[in-house]
Amino acid sequence: MTDRTSDTVTDIPQVVVVTGVMAAGKSTVSQLLAERFSRAVHLRGDEFRRVVVRGRADMTPQGDPEAERQLTLRHAITAHTANAYAGAGFTVVVQDLFVGTSLQPFLDGITARPLSLVMLAPDVGTVMQRESERVKVGYGDLWSIRDFDHKVRTETPHIGLWLDSSQQTPDETVDEIIARLPEARIA
């Protein structure tokens, strides 16, 4: 339900997971989405990676058992934090990168309901353009945008709302997410 006087969505506490390839617009869309709710938290899962001062192992295309272990830990901490905020009466917009088999264990760790998943899925050309325009570099020499996009589209379970945001502004994407939030619900 939208409160037209303040342009916020009033709703029961819930968790909305926003994911997608690097440069899909997760940060911007998640922040704007959280701002639409009357009581909300924008939880950036990547922050839990950044707090590791020494010994951090970042993901690579080749795979690394320590990086996988740290990713699993990061996702568990994010799920725990999301549950705590939702339990305290907040809508939690969780932003993180969930690829392939990492998605379902994370969703299983979210006990708060309702739970929704939004996969931002702009086309490869749009991702290339966005990547070239941002300060943060997600791909560089390690990751190919096309290969990473293919991995997400073929190895990640197609649940929730998959949204092609290629031709949308961030505000238009948020409008569509809010309008289609029932489609994003995870049973």
Q: Cα–Cα–Cα angle for 125, 20, 154, nearest 5°?
A: 80
Lowest mean pLDDT among 3-7, 11-15, 113-117: 3-7
Distance in angstroms (rounded) separating the CA atoms of residues 104 and 126: 27
The confidence score (pLDDT) of residue 132 equals: 84
Inter-CA distances, 125 with 66, 99, 129, 166, 167, Å: 32, 20, 6, 9, 11
Domains and CATH numbers, the chain: 2-184 (3.40.50.300)
Q: Which of 83, 68, 62, 71 is nearest to 15 (CA)?
A: 83
pLDDT at 184 over 90: yes
Single-letter amino acid, residue 104? Q
Distance in angstroms (rounded) separating the CA atoms of residues 23 and 182: 25
Contact 45, 181 (CB under 8 A): no
The confidence score (pLDDT) of residue 63 equals: 80
pTM, two decimal places: 0.90
Share of the chain above pLDDT 90, in %: 72
Confidence of residue 48 (pLDDT cuts 50, 70, 90): very high
34 vs 12, which has greater pLDDT? 34
Contact 168, 176 (CB under 8 A): yes
Give the DSSP H/E element, type plus range, for residue 103.
helix 103-109
Give the DSSP H/E element, type plus range, for residue 115.
strand 115-120
Q: What is the pLDDT of residues 54-98, one digit of tens each?
A: 999 988 777 899 999 999 999 999 999 999 999 999 999 999 999
Name the token pair of 73.
Answer: 């830990």
Q: Which of 75-79, 99-103, 128-132, 183-187 has the highest mean pLDDT?
A: 75-79
pLDDT at 5 over 60: no
Confidence of residue 10 (pLDDT cuts 50, 70, 90): low
Average pLDDT over the chain, rounded to an integer: 90
Sign, CA torsion 85/87/90/93: positive
Q: Which of 47, 59, 31, 68 is nearest to 148 (CA)?
A: 59
The confidence score (pLDDT) of residue 177 equals: 98
Name the token pair of 148.
Answer: 């990473």
Strand partners, 115: 15
5 vs 118, which has greater pLDDT? 118
Q: Which of 6, 28, 8 is nearest to 18 (CA)?
A: 28
Distance in angstroms (rounded) separating the CA atoms of residues 36 and 80: 23
